[in-house]
Structure 1
Amino acid sequence: MLRFACSQLVVERTDPLVNPGMKYTPHLHQIVGGNSFNVTMDPANDPAKLSTCTSCSFVQDKSNYWTAVMFFHHKNGSYIRVPQTGNGGPQGKLINKGGLDVYYIPSGKVTAFKKGFRMLAGTASNTDDNKVAKGNICHRCWDSPNENTFVGAQPCSGTDTVAIPADPKCKMIRQTIIFPTCWDGQNLDSPNHQSHVAYGQGSGATGGGSCPSTHPVKLPQVMYELMWNVTNFSDKSMWPTDGSRPFVYSMNLGGSAAHGDYVFGWEGDSLQKAMDNGCNLNNACPKAGLTTQSDAQYSACTKKQQAPENVDGWLQALPMGDMAIKA
């Protein structure tokens, strides 16, 4: 499988998948990947050709990946973004400047995504944990202060929860978003950005099980992994006393609303070759023409906000409509 780091390209209120053409969308996102990311992301345009750099470690991957942002809610009513850290684990440490880690996990012969392909996992408005498959979207309380000390078993198993953990013993919260692995073979997108794909049998980071007849084409399993460092917020005296959550995503909702967006942008057939040739982890792979860049190089690929507002530091309220105002 491929497993590699992507640093933050930009943090802003845009979402060209759900709200194309709109600036100051309903909630804040963190975006990684190719620097041709823009408000509209016209499917006719190829990010692989338009991007001059990528914030991901594979040079050939100009795709864009984005998620909501996690905030800490102080009992005085103010909010601050939870910092992020690189991810350790059995496969080794990845270095991120914000952002997330991306996995492409094949299960047998898979068909790589086509130019113009995009999809969405999760529902940003969902408030019911029971409507989320824990095997696909989950959170883990990481009670080690070091992300290199692996906690638990495979993603979305064991004591992992749909809800964002609210426990002072958590030093970090690992978020996992697993995308569908079955495609209808025809549509590169759909009106809800979900119905052209489907989850196969089974769940978790297994590469996906057998596909339904409606979606017979097996895709690589895309998985996002994010490490939110909540160490500085473990003092419960800072937490809200009115029963509201200490940790929320930028929609002011909990883990049930966690979601991830994906726009394909690998150069040529490099991803197909990577899957066919067993390219592994974040290593250069000559058989597929994959080359890597240093963390200093990919972290230097950034973009100015297209919806400018200062989202750093303590904020009076979540940026959801009105411009962000400092606390």
Structure 2
Amino acid sequence: MGRNTRKRRTPPVAKAIAAAAALALGGGGLLWANFHASAHEPDQRAWGGDRTKAATAQVATVSCPDVGQRLTNVPDAARQGVARELAGLDRQIAEAYARLAATRDAQAKDPGFVRNAIVGPLGEKRAATIDRIRIGIQRAGGSFDNALAQLAPCTTRSTDRTDAGGGQQNGGQQQDNGGRQGGGIGGQAGNGPVAADFVDITKVAPNVQGRPRRTANASTGTFTTRCGVNANKNHNTDNVIVAPGVTNGAHHLHDYVGNQKVDAFAGDRTFLQGGTSCENPGDLSSYYWPVVRVQDGTRDFDQNADGGGKEGNAGRILTPVQAEIKYVGSPAAKVVAMPRFLRIITGDAKTTTNGLANANAHWSCTGFENRVQLTERYPVCPQGSKVVRSFAFQSCWDGRNTDSANHRTHVAFADPASGVCPNGFKAIPQLTMRLVYAVPPPVIRNGRVQNAYAVDGFPEQLHKPATDHDDFISVTRNGLAGRIADCLNRGRNCA
């Protein structure tokens, strides 16, 4: 389907987030609004300042089951329509979150406001969307699990139940520039991060596990591809894997290296014509990830744009000082070449509500990478050390599909102890990425963070570090895929 050329209206999420952002204090200040309620039954009490009640909790975000993760069998004829409906679910959640953030006064005055004006209508919209997904799948001859209809209702989460592990967030207590204590959820745009999302890496015990022992059949080589750091600022807020044909389908900004013509409307033919930032002209693959921002009160080009400041992704965008992209072999087997147009997503952009099952990003500091890797906290690095994000993608392929309905089941991770792929899967070159940033160290005092940094994300995910993720589309020519596999299998180090 071609690009929709109709003029796009400002979506409700943009209007509501803009209203919420207007409440945020400049210079790294915090949107603070004490809304005292349980996650399911808001009560009627005043908010702000010294009226805080420690025994109650502020509603911080909207929590909805992830329908897309549960879809494992969608006929090809229905996939694009289903993808659009799933993108609609994401948009509905973002709009509901924006309304939650912009209506603290109304919530304090009306104990039923969140239920009646936000969560209830959201559930009704989701039910209608899930039913359209059912119709689309069944019309294409597929079967639909009716249990998915039970995923329509949403709840809310409070400030002490919003970290990726579901545990305490030190009460989520923050402080605004006026010195008043509040129960805000932090961040330059009012949706995180908070002090509890950071840790001094020098105080973390070593936690890096050993690698599987190599077998006689191991593929021990490496292949490095040099594609730059996105110095030309190739950005957009689309996600062609998850939301093809949907503008702003990611609701956050991506850096792109490699293929230079990737947006929501790109297809396989476009990728082959896209050009590349990689030194090897045969590497037309797309490597893309959410940007990192410093929330020091500054603004960037997208402050008033969808996916940027309008949706809570505020602050100055950092370009990596290094972006290392390397393919490595399997400790247990020879690898087969990646098929052209293989798509892989690693990590989960929605761990704040989904939990950590698919989390796969790691945060560390230069000089500490072989000792400490973090998933649920951002590191505060010592002087002279830089922040490092790293990803090790799924390295097993089902041998048939270049994608799957939930974008996960066609690939898998090898067993962490043995390095062996699951039954029915073949070892492929494992894509690894290491992104290094010169981040001004955030300062944490009295339970609050100043000059925080955070990865871009869906607004309701509160910029938690565990929501970090990475995306990849394999596009090679001139036999490059085969040469990468051969290099690994021969135990060579190639570039």
TM-score category by the smaller chain? 0.5 to 0.7
> Do 1:249 and 1:255's aligned partners in 2 also have CA atoms closer than 8 Å?
yes
Task: Report matched runs for 1:24-39 at 5 Å.
Answer: 24-25=248-249, 26-39=251-264
Q: In the alignment, which of 380, 387, 396 is matched to residue 167 of structure 1?
A: 380
Q: Using structure 1 for the length normalisation, give the TM-score.
A: 0.67
Q: Using a 3 Å threshold, how does the CA distance of structure 1 residues 20 and 201 change in structure 2: closer, same or farther? A: same
Query: Which sections of structure 2, spanning at least 5 residues, go unmatched?
Result: 1-221, 300-313
- 1:41-89 CA-partner distances (Å, limit 9, x unpaired): 324x273x313x3112222100001001111223799621234202xxx
Looking at structure 2, the residues matched to 191 and 240 of structure 1 have their Cα atoms a distance apart, in angstroms, of 46
What residue number does 2:223 align with? 2
Name the residue aligned to 2:396.
182
Instruction: Supply the AA of the counterpart residue of 1:257.
Output: T
- The CA distance in 1 between the partners of 2:443 and 2:223, in whole Å, is 38
Aligned to 2:363, the other structure's residue is in SS state: strand
Higher helix residue share = 2
Aligned residue number for residue 37 of structure 2: none
Equivalent position SS for 1:275: helix
Specify the alignment match of 1:221 in structure 2: 430
Question: 1:133: Cα distance to partner?
Answer: 7.1
Q: Which whole-Å CA distance do the structure 2 matches of 1:196 and 1:235 have between them?
A: 39
- Count of equivalent residues: 247
Amino acid paired to 1:196: H
Any conservation in 2 of the 1:177–1:224 contact (CA below 8 Å)? yes
- Distance change (3 Å), C-alpha of 1:241 and 1:196: same
| Corresponding residue number in structure 1 for 2:167 | none
Larger Rg: 2
Residues 82-231 of structure 1 aligned to structure 2 (within 5 Å): 82-86=318-322, 100-107=323-330, 108-127=333-352, 131=356, 136-142=360-366, 151-152=367-368, 154=370, 158-167=371-380, 169=382, 171-202=385-416, 209-213=419-423, 215-230=424-439
Q: Does the residue aligned with 1:103 lie in a helix, a strand or coil?
A: strand
Equivalent pair of 1:247/1:254 in contact (CA under 8 Å):
no
Task: Report what 1:145 is aligned to.
Answer: none
Q: Contact 1:140–1:160 at 8 Å: present in 2 too?
A: yes
SS class of match (1:131): coil
Higher relative contact order (CA 8 A, sep 6+): 1
Compared CA separation, residues 76 and 270, structure 1 to 2 (3 A): closer
Query: What CA RMSD, in Å, does the superposition of the two structures yield over aligned residues?
Result: 3.0
Which of residues 18, 38, 44 is equivalent to 2:242? 18
1:262 counterpart = 2:484: no
SS state of the match for residue 6, structure 1?
coil
**Match among 316, 327, 331 for residue 80 of structure 1:** 316
- Kindly provide the CA deviation profile for residues 203-252 of structure 1, in whole angstroms up to 9, marking residues without a partner as x: 7xxxx811111x4211110111101211xx22628x89646892211114
| Identical counterparts, % of pairs | 20
Structure 1 residue aligned with 2:310: none
SS at match of 1:31: strand
Secondary structure of the structure 1 residue equivalent to 2:324: strand
Q: Is 2:452 the counterpart of 1:246?
A: yes
- Aligned residue in 2 for 1:148: none
Moved more, 124-133 or 24-33: 124-133
Partners of 2:420 and 2:282 in 1: CA distance: 29
Distance 2:329 2:381 in 1: 37
Task: Name the residue aligned to 1:291.
Answer: none
Structure 1 unmatched ranges of 5 or more? 87-99, 143-150, 284-327
Q: How high is the TM-score relative to the length of structure 2?
A: 0.45
Offset at 1:114?
A: 1.1
Q: SS of 2:226's equivalent?
A: strand
